[in-house]
Amino acid sequence: MARPRIDDTEGRAAVQAVTAASADGDARAERETLALAVRYALQLLAEAAPGRSVEVRVPPFGAVQIVEGPRHTRGTPPNIVEVDASTFLEIATGGIPWSQAAQAGRVRASGSRSDLSALFPLDLS
């Protein structure tokens, strides 16, 4: 069963709260707010790049399959991106470019379709 869509107002508020906490030097937003912000950004990413050829994982909060192309059905997908929650939100909001985060080792990506730089930042306004 598909997870219900997160309301845009609620999702944007969570992203703003996490971003504000980080900007204030309080790198730790409430876990529930952080989880909602990550899931909302993943939802927007999946809507921006529908498909099933790349799996984006933001443990422990969520994962989505995106980008049109060959689909995997069992086992580990050939194209995987894994990133921690704070880095994912920084990339999603434009706080850090994808390429810079990847070069710094903050993004773990494998597979020929795992460069998602063209999809970021997301429209979170």
pLDDT band at 23 (very low <50, low <70, confident <90, very high): confident
When pLDDT is cut at 50, 70 and 90, the band that residue 1 belongs to is: low
Q: 3 falls in which pLDDT band (50, 70, 90)?
A: confident
In what order do the strands lie in the sheet containing 80-83? 62-66, 54-58, 80-83, 107-110
Which domains can be identified in the chain, with CATH numbers? 8-119 (3.30.1050.40)
Model confidence pLDDT, tens digit, residues 43-66: 999 999 999 899 999 999 999 999
- Residue-wise pLDDT for 61-105, tens only, equals 999 999 998 766 677 778 999 999 999 999 999 999 999 999 999
How far apart CA 102 and CA 1 sit, in angstroms, is 33
| In contact, 87 and 96? CB cutoff 8 Å | yes
SS3 57: strand
CA dihedral defined by 105, 22, 36, 106, rounded to 10 degrees? 0
- How far is residue 108's CA from residue 103's CA, in Å, rounded to a whole number? 10
Nearest-angstrom CA–CA distance, 11 and 24: 20
Give the C-alpha separation, 100 to 116, whole Å.
12
* 3-state secondary structure (DSSP) of residue 18: helix
96 φ, ψ to 5°? Answer: -145, 135
Strand-pairing partners, residue 56, are 64, 81
